[in-house]
Structure 1
Amino acid sequence: MSVTKNIRRKPILLALLVGLCGNGTLAMLSVSQLTFSIFPIIALVLAARMLYREYLTVPMEGDTPLCTLLAFLIGVFAYSAVLRTEFPEMGTNFFSVMVSLVLVIWLALKMGVAARPVAEEDGVKS
């Protein structure tokens, strides 16, 4: 028995992009090792605008809002982990990596990508 989940992928990908670009913009403005670039700001504005337009035009049903929030947080923590890997003097990336992995597993379970096995009923199917 398989359960079809009605979760759209477009807002999830846009939320991931907003999380990555938002953290990239904040890091660019606050971390002295990074040079200034206008591209994270442009990408953040465009991704946020597309996500807002998607939110207004198509209703988010089922688990789509939760999955969108999870994707946003994955983007934030994943960029933080990559940044701390690139610049080890900023500190350890253990917390960011662990939170990212937990959120990715939770998102995969919610979307049905990593579905749990369903036990068959013992009775006769009608």
Structure 2
Amino acid sequence: MEQNRCEKSTLLLSVVIGVALHGSYSTLFNPLTGPWSIFPLISLVLAVYCLYQRYLNQPMTDGMPKLIFSFFLLGLFGYNAYLKTSNPEMGSNFFSSVCIVIIAYGFIVKLNSVNVYVNRKKTLRKHRKQSNINCYQLLVVNTARF
């Protein structure tokens, strides 16, 4: 349970890094986003530091770096779509929206494949236990005949 909580917080940190990176870029170089603010830079530095500490102190499971990068892109494109929706003069948010949908579809495919793999392992374990019981029963029956 603790490992699952750590993975969720790592993914949340990667989304925050994506949003903070795009927010920092927008506040520094885009005059349409409003007045300049230091807070996106502060949140970017703190989120990167927390993710780095998590990387140093806790082992990552297989496939986790790929998920972290995709969640980072989800935050980046999500904030881009939000900015372009709130400021239509910045342009269309079609590309960002399509990227979000593709990344979300990738998550669904990945989670379904993981669930199928876990269910297959559980089924194999259950069959193995049953087959071990059956082999033991056969051994007892065969030794009783002699």
Category of TM-score, reference length = shorter chain = 0.7 to 0.9
Q: Distance in 1 between matches of 2:48 and 2:107?
A: 21
Measure how far apart 1:108 and its partner are. 3.4
Q: Distance in 2 between matches of 1:103 and 1:61?
A: 20
Q: Which has the higher contact order (CA 8 A, sep 6+)?
A: 1
1:90-105 pair list within 5 angstroms:
90-105=90-105
TM-score (norm 2): 0.71
Higher Rg: 2
1:73 maps to what in 2?
Answer: 73
**Greater helix share, structure number:** 2
**Structure 1 unaligned runs (5+)?**
1-5
Aligned-pair Cα RMSD in Å: 2.3
2:8 aligned with 1:14, yes or no? no
1:1-126 pair list within 5 angstroms:
8-34=7-33, 35-110=35-110, 112=111, 115=112, 125=127, 126=131
Moved more, 77-86 or 98-107: 98-107
Measure how far apart 1:101 and its partner are. 1.2
Q: Distance in 2 between matches of 1:49 and 1:104?
A: 26
Equivalences, count: 115
1:3 maps to what in 2?
Answer: none
Measure how far apart 1:40 and its partner are. 0.8
- Identical columns (%): 36
SS in structure 1 at match of 2:46: helix
